[in-house]
Amino acid sequence: MLQIIRIEWLKVKSYRTFWILLLLAVAIIPAANYIGAEINSEIRDKAKDLIPLSTYDFPLIWQTMASVNSYMTALFGFPLLILVTNEFTYKTHRQNVIDGWERREFVLAKLFWWLALGVLALLISMLFAVILGLAYGTHAFSLEDSRYMFYYFLQVEVSLAIALLIAMLVRRAGLAIVLYLAYTMMIEQVLVVTIKRYVGEVGGLLPLQAGDELLPFPIVGKLMSSANRFDDGVYLLMLLVYIALMIFLVFRRMLKTDY
Amino acid sequence: MSILSLHNISKRYGAIQALSGVSFEVPPGSVFGILGPNGSGKTTLLGIVTDVLKADEGTYSLFDAPPAGRLRRQIGTLLETPNFYHYLTACQNLQVAAAIKQKPEQDISRVLEIAGLTARQHSRFKTYSLGMKQRLAIASALLGDPGVLILDEPTNGLDPAGIAEVRELVLRLAETGKTIILASHLLDEVEKVCSHVAILQKGKLLLSGPVNEVLAREDYVELSGPDNTVLEAVLARHPAFSHILSRNGHLQVVFSQPVDLAALNAYCAEQGVWLNHLHIRKQSLEKAFLQLTNN
């Protein structure tokens, strides 16, 4: 596996587009939360005596940042979409196999990025949660409720798995990006609202929505949540099922199809 | 041992039967030509043995073992078009290839030199001309000095000088005892080195085996006199005369048994025809091939 990672590194290390897309996905985490923390500190200063714990105080900050970041999970899909569709555009997926990779190794190489980008999102989020929590919060550092960061991580992995599957099925960069954007920004939201309205809470079990259900904004989210929602464990299970299903489909596709 | 062994390989694209029941073996040290017109299934066949295409039926083995990535690493392959990362330089692209093939990076400068790309090794692939891209693909196939090469139309996109260079390179590599599997167009050029051939037509294997058995090539004698009509009448009376191949310019005549040119010259002189041209030739592989595929 180390050999595969080294080869993937050789492919991207001087690929500017990839690094720009990655920087965008990473930079938006501190940027959005910096703005959030500023607004929050103004509100807190004005209503000091009413709210004992603000959203950028430990331990609430874990949930706050996980929730804010969950609106931007799709951004991590773009560097992955570009990396995978590039291989098809340049037919280098064929060359990798011709040169001696097993097809399985080609899939593992892309699964490395799937995991690495998710871990990066998690680490950056946790790092800035600590920084912003210490800078803006009035409470001591605490890991209590940091499980929300894990939920966020799983949601990023689901987004990335959707990107990976679309890229492997569609192969063309432009079309893959349009489909990914359409799904993450629109299609799923429409489905969720429609199913919730006409069928019920099961609409909350769709891939990205299952993550959103686990990541309500602190305080406000509780007021808005439905009384019938499933137990957290159900949403968590669904996230894992979606990830497993999509990775299975990626393998099935890439092991059997003509390159 | 055989380098490559195919058993009953079939492949269909929708309504088109690209390959049907193809079987043959490539012995070690041979220069194996896979010949056939465009669309006969050559690239499909090479795609299957490099695992980029999946056969519908049949099996194949590499070095007498079930196919695997580690076996493909011992084969330098150039399949159809050069496939490289456009945003990487030639050198960076070869680093990726060397890493996958598990060959030392020190070999990169050697293969770039062979391909004549040393001066442009730090230019991005997307700035390369078609011929340079093809040269880079050849360089990549030579990484790690593999004992087996699969070359699918390796002179594609090259200018006349480049074609001549690749022709010479293939000859040189063949002399070092490497097994070379070569797909067509180069037919004419590798005539001298092709030891074995497999001939495909519309996805079917017409024939395969040592080149002299598969493509029986008649020797013929090329000759001219002051009046070729008279000469033809004289030759027709020669006891070993078989048939005339061509009457354009010189007469090309096939005899039923080997004839001594001096004796033939004397025979014509005795009959009152003084020759001004006399030469023994071998029918070109290409001609023999065309005759075979037209039948």
Same domain, B27 and B110: yes
Question: Tens digit of pLDDT per residue, chain A (259 long)?
Answer: 899 999 999 999 999 999 999 999 999 999 999 998 888 888 877 776 666 677 888 888 999 999 999 999 999 999 999 999 999 999 999 999 999 999 999 999 999 999 999 999 999 999 999 999 988 888 888 888 899 999 999 999 999 999 999 999 999 999 999 999 999 999 999 999 999 999 988 999 999 999 999 888 887 766 666 667 888 999 999 999 999 999 999 999 999 999 8
Q: Who wins on pLDDT, B109 or B177?
A: B109
Tokens of A238: 């669904």
Comparing alpha-carbon positions, the chain A residue that sits nearest to B44 is A258
Residue B30 sits in a domain whose CATH number is 3.40.50.300
pLDDT given at position A221: 65
Q: Nearest CA to A146 among A165, A173, A127, A166?
A: A127
Same domain, B36 and B153: yes
Q: In B, which residues are within 8 Å of A97 by CB distance? A: 50-52, 69, 72
* Min distance A61 CA to chain B CA atoms (Å): 41
Same domain, B198 and B232: no
pTM metric for this prediction: 0.85
Report the b/e string of B127-149 with b at 16+ CB within 10 A: ebeebbbbbbbbbbbbbbebbbb
A7 touching B, CB under 8 A? Answer: yes
**Spatial contact of B115 and B139, defined as CB atoms under 8 Å apart:** yes
Complex confidence, ipTM: 0.88
B102 touching A, CB under 8 A? Answer: yes
Single out the residue in B183, B214, B245 at which a domain terminates.
Answer: B214
Same domain, B106 and B120: yes
Band the pLDDT of B274: cuts 50, 70, 90.
Answer: very high
Q: In B, which residues are within 8 Å of A95 by CB distance? A: 83-84, 97
Q: Which of A255-259, B14-18, B280-284 has the lowest mean pLDDT?
A: B280-284
Single out the residue in B177, B192, B214 at which a domain terminates.
Answer: B214
Same domain, B104 and B228: no
Q: Who wins on pLDDT, A20 or B288?
A: A20
Please indicate whether, in this complex, the C-beta atoms of B72 and A11 are within 8 angstroms of each other. Answer: no
Same domain, B243 and B203: no
Q: Which residue has the tokens 């703005």?
A: A35
Same domain, B245 and B152: no
- CA B12 to each of CA A20, B18, B25, B54: distance values in angstroms, whole numbers, following the listed order: 43, 5, 22, 10
A19 touching B, CB under 8 A? Answer: no
Q: In A, which residues are within 8 Å of B70 by CB distance? A: 100
Same domain, B12 and B56: yes
- The number of folded domains in chain B is 2
Question: How many contacts, defined by CB atoms under 8 Å, are there between A and B?
Answer: 77
pLDDT given at position A62: 94
Please indicate whether, in this complex, the C-beta atoms of B84 and A92 are within 8 angstroms of each other. Answer: yes
Tokens of A192: 């969720």
Query: Residue B252 — φ and ψ, nearest 5°?
Result: -110, 115
Q: Who wins on pLDDT, A60 or B292?
A: A60
Residue B98: which domain range?
Answer: 4-214
A183-227 tens-digit pLDDT: 999 999 999 999 999 998 899 999 999 999 988 888 776 666 666
**For testing contact with chain A, the best of B51, B53, B94, B105 (most A CBs within 10 A):** B51
Same domain, B173 and B282: no
B150-177 tens-digit pLDDT: 999 888 878 888 888 888 888 888 888 8
Band the pLDDT of B148: cuts 50, 70, 90.
Answer: very high
* Min distance B87 CA to chain A CA atoms (Å): 7
Residue B254 sits in a domain whose CATH number is 3.30.70
Same domain, B265 and B194: no
Tell me what the mean pLDDT of segment B2-20 comes to.
93
* Min distance A82 CA to chain B CA atoms (Å): 13
pLDDT given at position B170: 82
Same domain, B250 and B177: no
Comparing alpha-carbon positions, the chain B residue that sits nearest to A85 is B85
A96 touching B, CB under 8 A? Answer: yes
Cα angle B158, B126, B110 (rounded to 5 degrees) comes to 60
Query: Does residue A59 have a cis peptide bond before it, meaning omega lies within 30 degrees of 0?
Result: yes
Single out the residue in B214, B231, B254 at which a domain terminates.
Answer: B214
* Min distance B71 CA to chain A CA atoms (Å): 7
Same domain, B175 and B62: yes
